[in-house]
């Protein structure tokens, strides 16, 4: 039997509610970077993202009468300007929406797809996998973009404003520019070598041949014109028009500086691929946890099933009373097991028989939870179980290692005065995507197809994540909305970070629900990430602590990771206010804003 929520969630926000408040500058104000704050409380709606200009774009739309969906698209478009190495119309993502009127959650799968000509040998040459470092900066890695289709589908279904209207703040931001910060410069520097392979990328992101200067104004007039064209003509301009033709030409003949010597392998994207692309409505995953209902995205992403399975495994442990060491141990082991099952069973359900319902069953979770011991550590890689025929404590199968996923993704969360909520994660894969900018268009193309397995890890075991024609590569994106037993929103959150997204969302949720942390503190807490590997990654706050020594004593092995994820979230308070929360320091700190700040 499931027990009730560990503690009254209404009291968790008291300390967070008085930290600080962020609000957008009024529409029409002179261009300036809005105040950045990791938490804001008030009425009229809320936006949380990694960037203050992007959050301000969403708030601007809410102030003009838009709803959470309108604000989410506006924020996402603005992130395409200020976070171009993480998101943009050259990528894809997953959109989770709560409708306050019907009290239901629905989702959109806007994941990129492989070309219709792609086979399982997409990344093989002479029978061997292409070196990963060579594949990522190539036309071969580019999938059919899904972001514009996601925006249009969401607006048509749930929005109150048109695409042209919600793109205006981002168009203005691209035209007038934003202030370069340390994070933008550092991300550019990390990509400088490969950006110089591609002339249009170098011209845009290395102005005058140099790294952008912190404090300078960065403008992207090409992207402003592209947004204006999308606003006038609709997303058909990409899927059936001039923008799409430019994308196809760039993928199939990547423009490379000849002197660089870079082999940017051409892709096989066609106008037929663009015309055939569809963002998909689909039912969310649903997991009951501590008397709450946790909704997320179903496959093609593994986020909802993997977070959900781990929550079900943890259901039998009272984490609210566990010591810090026992809590972290149980969290790590549940993550390890859930990733073992993810690797074996999750792929694009249009091509693979994904037992999502069985993976999320409590019966299956219980059969896996019995593997966890408080005085010992499971040896990775743990073998998957069989959710279709659960056997208690069975670990006899063949393990499937976790494939690499790029960490350059971004997450935003919005809410409105009517109670609607959006949790939306979008991406172009690794930092800087493919590195290839579409000439004259101002946006970088994704390298999302590198999320596929290049070859089976074990030829004797079926790999559900091999490439295929029109197939979506597996993702770890986990945008999540949590409802109470009355169908009212409690919290919504998500994070970037490749495969660490799953562990970030899981740790933030358990920190908030079980450990009693205010949302902003649950987001800020030092993170651990175990993905069925020999070592668990720890941020410095854990790696440099005595807690690490206590866990090593029972067999854990760790390695340091300077930064894991960059979450944002919103929370509905009992008096009707919204609390928006973002990172305090990761990625330079995030930006939480509300329409009408209030501290009472």
Statement: residue 82 has pLDDT above 60:
yes
Annotated catalytic residue within 409, 480, 500, 568: 409
Question: Do residues 93 and 77 touch, judged by C-beta distance below 8 A?
Answer: no
pLDDT value of residue 458: 77
Average pLDDT over the chain, rounded to an integer:
93
pLDDT value of residue 35: 86
From CA 429, how far away is CA 356, in angstroms rounded? 24
Q: Does residue 305 have an active-site annotation?
A: no
Q: What is the DSSP letter of 471?
A: P
Statement: residue 6 has pLDDT above 60:
no
Statement: residue 17 has pLDDT above 60:
no
First to last CA, the chain: 39
From CA 381, how far away is CA 375, in angstroms rounded? 19
Q: How many CB atoms lie within 10 A of CB 391?
A: 11
Statement: residue 542 has pLDDT above 80:
yes
* Of the candidates 357, 377, 465, the residue with the CA atom closest to the CA atom of residue 123: 465
Calculate Rg over the CA atoms of the chain.
22
Percentage with pLDDT > 90 across the chain = 89
pLDDT value of residue 168: 98
pLDDT: is 3 or 460 the higher one?
460
Statement: residue 11 has pLDDT above 90:
no
| Mean pLDDT of the region 409-427 | 97
Question: Do residues 512 and 522 touch, judged by C-beta distance below 8 A?
Answer: yes
Statement: residue 52 has pLDDT above 70:
yes
Q: How many CB atoms lie within 10 A of CB 153?
A: 21
Q: Using 50, 70 and 90 to split pLDDT, how confident is the model at 355? A: very high
| Mean pLDDT of the region 178-196 | 96
pLDDT: is 192 or 498 the higher one?
192
pLDDT value of residue 402: 61
From CA 579, how far away is CA 210, in angstroms rounded? 40
Q: Using 50, 70 and 90 to split pLDDT, how confident is the model at 33? A: confident
| Mean pLDDT of the region 94-110 | 98
Statement: residue 181 has pLDDT above 70:
yes
| C-alpha distances in Å from residue 519, one per residue of 426, 487, 539 | 22, 20, 19
pLDDT: is 29 or 527 the higher one?
527
From CA 89, how far away is CA 111, in angstroms rounded? 12
pLDDT value of residue 598: 82
Which of the residue ranges 135-144, 403-412, 515-524, 538-547 would you say has the lowest mean pLDDT? Answer: 403-412
- pLDDT digit string, tens, across residues 91-101: 999 999 999 99
pLDDT value of residue 31: 56
**Tokens standing for residue 490:** 């409690």
Q: How far is CA 324 from the centre of its chain?
A: 27
* Of the candidates 367, 496, 481, 371, the residue with the CA atom closest to the CA atom of residue 431: 496
pLDDT value of residue 296: 98
| Mean pLDDT of the region 204-230 | 97
Q: Using 50, 70 and 90 to split pLDDT, how confident is the model at 7? A: very low
Question: Do residues 336 and 389 touch, judged by C-beta distance below 8 A?
Answer: no
pLDDT value of residue 393: 87
Residue with tokens 């659960």: 390
| Mean pLDDT of the region 272-286 | 98
Statement: residue 396 has pLDDT above 80:
no
Statement: residue 29 has pLDDT above 60:
no
Cis bond upstream, residue 381 (ω within 30): yes
3-state SS assignment for residue 536: strand
Statement: residue 300 has pLDDT above 50:
yes
The contacts of residue 524 (CB under 8 Å, 6+ apart) are 38, 583, 584, 585
Statement: residue 403 has pLDDT above 90:
no
Residue 292, phi then psi, degrees to nearest 5: -110, 160
Which of the residue ranges 26-35, 83-92, 489-498 would you say has the lowest mean pLDDT? Answer: 26-35
| Mean pLDDT of the region 408-426 | 95
From CA 356, how far away is CA 348, in angstroms rounded? 11
The torsion of the CA quartet 327, 328, 331, 334, rounded to 10 degrees, works out to -100
pLDDT value of residue 579: 98
| Mean pLDDT of the region 148-167 | 98
pLDDT value of residue 599: 57
Q: Using 50, 70 and 90 to split pLDDT, how confident is the model at 409? A: confident
């Amino acid at each position: 039997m499931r027990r009730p929520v560990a503690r009254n969630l209404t009291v968790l926000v008291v300390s967070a509610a008085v930290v600080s408040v962020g609000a957008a500058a009024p529409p029409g104000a002179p261009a300036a970077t809005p105040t950045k704050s990791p938490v804001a409380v008030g009425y009229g709606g809320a936006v949380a993202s990694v960037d203050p200009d992007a959050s301000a774009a969403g708030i601007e739309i809410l102030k003009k009468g838009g709803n959470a969906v309108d604000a989410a698209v506006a924020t996402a478009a603005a992130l395409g300007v200020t976070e171009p190495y993480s998101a943009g119309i050259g990528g894809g993502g997953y959109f989770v929406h709560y409708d306050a009127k019907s009290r239901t959650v629905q989702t959109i799968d806007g994941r990129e797809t492989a070309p219709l000509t792609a086979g399982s040998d997409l990344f093989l040459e002479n029978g061997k996998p292409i070196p990963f470092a060579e594949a990522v900066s190539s036309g071969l890695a580019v999938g059919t973009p899904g972001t514009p289709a996601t925006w249009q589908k969401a607006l048509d279904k749930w929005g109150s404003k048109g695409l042209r209207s919600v793109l205006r703040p981002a168009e203005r931001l691209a035209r007038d520019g934003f202030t370069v910060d340390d994070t933008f410069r550092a991300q550019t520097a990390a990509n400088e070598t490969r950006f110089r392979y591609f002339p249009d990328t170098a011209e845009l992101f290395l102005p005058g041949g140099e790294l952008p200067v912190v404090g300078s104004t960065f403008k992207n007039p090409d992207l402003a014109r592209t947004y204006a064209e999308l606003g006038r003509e609709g997303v058909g301009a990409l899927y059936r028009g001039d923008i799409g033709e430019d994308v196809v030409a760039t993928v199939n003949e990547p423009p490379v500086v000849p002197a660089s010597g870079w082999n940017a392998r051409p892709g096989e994207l066609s106008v037929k691929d663009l015309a055939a692309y569809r963002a998909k409505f689909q039912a969310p995953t649903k997991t009951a946890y501590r008397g709450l209902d946790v909704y997320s995205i179903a496959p093609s992403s593994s986020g909802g099933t993997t977070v959900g399975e781990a929550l079900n495994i943890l259901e039998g442990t009272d984490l609210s009373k566990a010591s810090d060491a026992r809590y972290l141990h149980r969290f790590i082991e549940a993550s390890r097991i859930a990733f073992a099952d993810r690797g074996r069973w999750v792929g694009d359900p249009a091509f693979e028989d994904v037992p999502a319902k069985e993976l999320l069953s409590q019966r299956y979770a219980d059969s896996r939870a019995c593997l966890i011991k408080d005085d010992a550590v499971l040896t990775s890689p743990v073998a998957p179980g069989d959710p279709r025929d659960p056997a208690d404590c069975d670990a006899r199968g063949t393990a499937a290692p976790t494939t690499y996923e790029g960490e350059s993704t971004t997450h935003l969360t919005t809410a409105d005065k009517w109670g609607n909520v959006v949790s939306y994660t979008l991406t172009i894969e690794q930092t800087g995507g493919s590195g290839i900018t579409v000439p004259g268009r101002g946006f970088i193309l994704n390298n999302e197809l590198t999320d596929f397995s290049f070859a089976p890890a074990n030829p004797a075991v079926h790999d559900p994540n091999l490439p295929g024609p029109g197939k979506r590569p597996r993702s770890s994106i986990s945008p999540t909305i949590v409802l109470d037993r009355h169908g009212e929103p409690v919290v919504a959150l998500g994070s970037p970070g490749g495969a660490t997204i799953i562990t970030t969302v899981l740790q933030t949720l358990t920190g908030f629900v079980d450990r009693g942390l205010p949302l902003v503190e649950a987001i800020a807490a030092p993170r651990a990430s175990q993905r069925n590997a020999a070592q668990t990654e720890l941020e410095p706050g854990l790696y440099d602590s005595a807690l690490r020594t206590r866990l090593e004593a029972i067999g854990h092995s760790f390695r340091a990771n300077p930064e894991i994820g960059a979450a944002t979230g919103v929370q509905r308070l009992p008096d009707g206010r919204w609390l928006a929360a973002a990172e305090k320091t990761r990625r330079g700190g995030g930006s939480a804003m509300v329409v009408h700040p209030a501290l009472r």
